[in-house]
Structure 1
Amino acid sequence: MEVVSDLLQESYEQLNEILGAEQMLKVFEIYRGRQISFPMRLYDHKKVAQRIVDEYDGHNLAQLTHKYDYSQRWIRQIIRQNNEK
């Protein structure tokens, strides 16, 4: 299918610019007609919590905060909860 980019709906136009026509058409075929909402955070908080527990060494709170884009307060809470178990 040839894409006429100046006729695209705004959301498909943006996808076309970001992904290119071929990938945009794949997204169109899979998701057309559906309402899609993207979470504000890239990573799932439950999975991140387990990873933090695994990676925390007692001195790398700032690095984990930066790496996973969660607050130090939240990370401390996860570590505290894990220590209480």
Structure 2
Amino acid sequence: MEADKQDWQVIYQELADLIGEENTLKIFRDFRGSTVSFPMRLMRREALLSHVQNDYLAGMSIHELSAHYQLAERTVCKYIHK
């Protein structure tokens, strides 16, 4: 059943291109039928806040922090003043 990748659903083909067929099959077996939603950010908010504050204290500017963490400068300012 799983032998020919070309017979797979498109989402599994795309996933296999990213992470390999073996890992795709593991995901399929563990999560099939599930709905998965990935957060827009990799880091938890608390961790991000801590990193921004520490980098600001280490000398990074608001503009640099904004670019580095892909945050609006206004958000960086909020994080710095918490």
Counterpart Cα distance in 2 of 1:71 and 1:63: 11
**Equivalent position of 1:63 in the other structure:** 64
Counterpart Cα distance in 2 of 1:60 and 1:37: 33
- 1:40 deviation in Å? 1.9
* 1:3/1:21 contact within 8 Å kept: no
Unmatched tracts of structure 2, length 5 or more: none
TM-score of the pair, normalised by structure 2: 0.81
TM-score of the pair, normalised by structure 1: 0.79
1:17-68 deviations in Å (ceiling 9; x for gaps): 1111111112112211211011122332221011111221355222211221
Secondary structure at 1:56 match in 2? helix
Aligned length: 81
> Cα distance 1:53–1:23, how it changes in 2: closer, same or farther (>3 A)?
same
* Displacement over 4 Å in runs of 4+: none
Unmatched tracts of structure 1, length 5 or more: none
- 1:9 deviation in Å? 1.1
Instruction: Among all aligned residue pairs of Structure 1 and Structure 2, give the percentage whose two residues are the same amino acid.
Output: 30
Alignment of 1:1-85 (within 5 A): 3-57=3-57, 59-81=60-82
Secondary structure at 1:78 match in 2? helix
- 1:69 deviation in Å? 1.1
Name the Cα RMSD after superposition: 1.9
Give the residue type in structure 1 aligned to 2:26: K
